Structures are given as C-alpha cells and as structure tokens.
Amino acid sequence: MNAIFTAVFIASAILLCFADPNAFLPALLDGAEQAATTFLTLFCIYTVWMGLSRVAADSGINGAIAKKMQPLCFKFFRTKSALGAQYAAMNITCNVLGLGGAATPFGIKAMKQFDGEGNLFGRNLLFILNATSVQIIPSTVIALRASFSSASPADVFAPALITTAICTGTAVALYFFTDKICRSLSRRSS
Amino acid sequence: MSLIIPSVFIIVITIAAARKVNVFSSFCAGAEEGLKFTLSLVPVLAAVFMMCKLFEISGIADALAAALSPAMRALGVPGELAKLALIKPFSGSGSLSLLTEVLEKYGADSYVSRCACTIYASSETVFYVFALYFAGTDKKGRALPLAVVLLSTILSTCLSCMLCRVL
C-alpha cells in the first residue's frame, strides 16, 4: 500500500503541474471531505449495529450463535481466539443475509483479533472473503436498471451471482495454494 | 426479506429484557465502542480517498484505460468499459457515476450495459475494503491477499462479460 500510495501521489502531482496545478489541492480536500462523510455514514451504521450487538452480547445471544458457527470458524480461519471466531461468524452470517453494513464492524473486529494473536492466515482469508464481494442480491444495480427503464432489471442477478461464487471460490483456493507454497519455501530457506 | 432486520431487533431486545439486561445502557456502551472504532479509521480513509481522487483527476486513470482497452477487448471485455473496470476497485461512488453514464449512453438492456452492471455487481471496491479491514493491523503479509483479490477481480470482470453473452 505504501508503494502504491507514494507512486500515485508523486505521479499525479507531477502530471497536474502540467495539466492543471489549481486542481491539486481541491482534489486532496475533496478526498478528505469524502472521508469525513464516509465517517458519518460508518458511524451511523456502527452505532446501530454495535449497540444491538452489545445488547445481544450482554444477554448471551452472541455466544449461543457463535457456539454453533465457531467450530467451523476455528478450523477455517485456523484461529485459537474464541472472540475472533465469534466476530468472523457474525461477519459471514451478516454477509450471507445481505446485511453488508452490519457485516463490516464485525469483520474489522475479527481482523483485529486475528492480527492480535499473530494469525495472519485467518486475517488475510477474512479480507479475501470480504473483498471478493459476498453480496448476494445486487440491489443498487437492479434499482438503477429499473430507473433507466430496463425491460428486465433483475437480468444481471444470475450472471452476477455465478461470477461472485466462482471468483470468491477461486480467490480462496488460490490463497490456500500460494500460502502453502510460501510456507514451504520459507521452511526450506530457514 | 424486509422483515429480517426488524425481527432481529425484536428478538434480541425481547431476549435481553427477559434476561434482565439493562438494554439502554448496553446499547449506549455498544454505540460508544462504535464511535471509538470509526474514529480510529478516519485517518486511513482520508489518505486513501485523497489517493483515489488524484488517480482520477490527474488523467492517470484515463490514460491507463486507453492503454488497457485493447488488452481488455482481447479478454472479451468491451473496450468502452475499461475505465469502469479500472475505477471500480478504487471508488464506489466514482464507479457508480461511470455506470450511470454507460446506462444513459447505451440503454439499459444493451450488451455493454448488462456487462457494466454485472461487473459493478460482482466486484468490490477492493482498495476501500483493504484500507478499512487492514487499518491498525500488522503490516506483515498484506501483499499476498491483495494480489489474490486483484487477480480474482480481473477474473470476475472477464467472466461477467462472458456470462452476459451466454445468458
């Protein structure tokens, strides 16, 4: 990320010096403003779901759900952290139910838990699951197509679902595979 | 489907009340946790968004799109969608406005538009998720999962267009 960030910053700054130097600072401020509005959106999502999640946790519901999902998560993410497995379980449950906004806070908490115990494998795997789009119903796109008077707005549902399924599967398999290679290489060199 | 969220709230709060949990103070404690969490994310988000804005307005995105469109055509992706495919991993709002442009220009039911919609629906804003999920974690070992996800994004772009042709 550091390399990409530095390269993009320097390259665009130089290009803008020639094209439109006055656009440079507004672009940065625009980005910051976008971060501020995103913060507000995220804060709203978080307060709702973290508030509810805390109520659920205090009444022992989270524990009960997670207990069912946990064995699977322990194995899948190779974690020993009960809390991490619980958050990951909630993240996946929310994603499958199509509650993308609710899934994010749990996902980030699980990432921190996995990272804290030095479990890079689980952390990376959870990121891959979330970054390859686990959304099941593309509601935004369907709404947009309807607004452009499409004959069948939900047409894209099947291809999008198939694509998502194949690509998420491929990414997970690829990660398992490359992780294994990296491990055996580092073992050989050490 | 729309009943899921309200029912979750009803179930959770009813069980909590039945178990004599102080629902109000628990909820507030959770909300406070949420606030602390989001605050810790803001600096990272600001930096990434600035980078994405620069990427777009400096013309790098356009130049890359122009350079990549022959390669994309070879992979079966319409050249008109090179820019959308390129912006999508960086910016959700940017790619949404591009998608709207495509729908307006080609009509909602054309092949190009259906491809665009499928590409948009079947991929994530990878760099945004990356910044959000990895904020505050160990820097080690981040490159491999990012590479894997980017590869799978390319695959999903090609597959989207292929499936749109068949289905």
Q: Which amino acid is at B101?
A: E
CB A130 within 8 A of CB B129: yes
- What domain range is B158 assigned to? 45-166
Kindly state whether residue B126 falls inside one of the protein's structural domains.
yes
pLDDT for A98 beyond 60? no
Mean pLDDT of A28-44: 84
pLDDT for A97 beyond 80? no
A18, A34, A39, A49: best to mutate for the B interface, most B CBs within 10 A:
A34
DSSP B47-65: HHHHHHHHHHHTSHHHHHH
DSSP A39-87: HHHHHHHHHHHHHHHHHHHHTTHHHHHHHHHHHHHHHHTT---HHHHHH
Kindly state whether residue B123 falls inside one of the protein's structural domains.
yes
Set of chain B residues whose Cβ sits within 8 Å of the Cβ of A46: 31, 34-35, 37-38
Smallest CA–CA separation between A104 and chain B, in Å? Answer: 8
- What domain range is A182 assigned to? 2-16+23-189
CB A103 within 8 A of CB A94: yes
Most confident of A17-21, A25-29, A87-91: A25-29
Q: Whose CA is closest to B93, among A132, A56, A33?
A: A33
- The token duo for B108 is 């909602």
Smallest CA–CA separation between B83 and chain A, in Å? Answer: 17
Domain count, chain A: 1
pLDDT for A119 beyond 80? yes
Alpha helix (H) residue ranges in B58-142: 60-74, 82-87, 92-106, 111-122, 126-134
Smallest CA–CA separation between A45 and chain B, in Å? Answer: 9
Domain count, chain B: 1
Distance CA B51, CA A42 (A): 20
Distance CA B120, CA B161 (A): 11
Kindly state whether residue B19 falls inside one of the protein's structural domains.
no
- The token duo for A94 is 């929310």
User: What's residue B28's pLDDT?
Assistant: 92
- The token duo for A97 is 């139910």
Structure letter (DSSP) for residue A136 = S
Q: Which amino acid is at A113?
A: Q
Beta-carbon separation of A159 and B167 below 8 A: yes
Q: Whose CA is closest to B88, among A106, A26, A114, A140?
A: A140
Cross-chain CB nearest to A128 (options B1, B48, B145) = B145
Kindly state whether residue B20 falls inside one of the protein's structural domains.
no
Alpha helix (H) residue ranges in chain A: 2-19, 24-58, 61-76, 82-96, 100-116, 120-131, 139-147, 157-189
Kindly state whether residue B68 falls inside one of the protein's structural domains.
yes
User: What's residue A101's pLDDT?
Assistant: 65
Can you list the residues of chain B whose pLDDT is less than 70? 1-2, 4, 93
B13, B33, B38: best to mutate for the A interface, most A CBs within 10 A:
B38
Chain A 86-125, residues with CB within 8 Å of chain B CB atoms: 97-99, 104-105, 107-109, 111-112, 115, 118, 120, 123-125
Kindly state whether residue B137 falls inside one of the protein's structural domains.
yes
Kindly state whether residue B146 falls inside one of the protein's structural domains.
yes
Mean pLDDT in chain B? Answer: 84
Kindly state whether residue B18 falls inside one of the protein's structural domains.
no
**Count of beta carbons in the 10 Å neighbourhood of residue B100:** 14
List, for residues A41-73, the tens digit of each pLDDT value: 778 877 887 888 888 878 877 667 667 777 888
Mean pLDDT of A101-109: 82
Start-to-end Cα distance in chain B? 26
Beta-carbon separation of B126 and A158 below 8 A: no
Cross-chain CB nearest to A35 (options B42, B121, B163) = B42
List, for residues A125-156, the tens digit of each pLDDT value: 999 988 886 666 666 777 788 888 888 887 88
Go through A74-95 and write b for each residue having 16 or more CB atoms within 10 A of its CB, e for each that does not. Answer: bebbebebebbbbbbbbbbbbb
Distance CA A80, CA B47 (A): 33
Q: Which residues contact B30 (CB under 8 A, 6 or more apart)?
A: A47, A50, A51, A52, A53, A54, A55, A57
**Count of beta carbons in the 10 Å neighbourhood of residue A178:** 14
